[in-house]
Amino acid sequence: MWYNIWLKALMSAIQNRNCRSQSHHHPLLTNNPHDCVPFLELLAHNDNTNAYLESLPSPRLLSTHSSYASLPDSILNTPGTRIVYIARNPKDVLVSLSKFSQKVGQLISNGQLVPPLPIELAFESFCKGESNSGPFWDHVLGYWEASKENPEKVLFLKYEDMKEDTEGCVKRLAVFMRHPFSSDEERQGVVQEVVNLCSFENLSNLEVNKSGTFGPINNSLFFRKGQVGDSSNYLTPEMLQHLDKITS
């Protein structure tokens, strides 16, 4: 979904901003952000995982859907390893996930083709905490508490804050990644270049994200709207109130 794609793109752009002098070679212009920052869960099924990881330039950028409690000690206790988490309003997350699932198409369950859940059933499932990574609220809370206990290790970002002050969040993210923008870079507009490169409008219109694929999924399906508060167009007032009660 877009908010995950956006964070990956921003981190990749921050780390690879030396490519700006050769803009046509920038990884994001020819690769979907999911390819630039691979999922640990998918790498686990790779026959040559270690060789692949060793081939990535250091510091390596990797992503996961795992809860904080499920992270291995090798991530939590290795000096220098840092964690960036992005959270979004649960109502918008629910709608985004539902729409994404509907676009991906039919799901296979016990050899039978099953149509994607309609929004009403997706809402019920979400409220019950049914998710591959555990209940949404537990997932967010785990990383939130970790960021408070160890802010040097865990950075907790809110999608809504990033939308409101993208440039400020990009600079904060760069500092956390130990790759801060210099005064000269800020004067030269490099921060804004990163923001522009990773904008929804720019990424969604790149050929790789219009016609390329990430596994069996069309890259275009990762780009829907990226708007804050769009859930009010799909959820009833009763649904919105119920989500407020169980997530507040």
The H or E element containing residue 60 is none
Give the residue among 139, 85, 94, 124 at the shortest CA–CA distance from 230. 94
C-alpha distance across the termini of the chain, in Å: 23
Give the residue among 233, 63, 86 at the shortest CA–CA distance from 166. 86
Give the residue among 230, 164, 206 at the shortest CA–CA distance from 33. 206
Q: What are 47's strand-pairing partners?
A: none
Locus of tokens 């870079």? 185
What is the chain's alpha carbon radius of gyration, rounded to the nearest angstrom?
A: 19
Could you confirm whether 26 is annotated as catalytic?
no
**Residues in contact with 30: Cβ distance below 8 Å, sequence separation at least 6, in sequence order:** 208
Which residue among the candidates 24, 45, 65, 242 is catalytic per the annotation?
65
Residues taking part in catalysis: 65
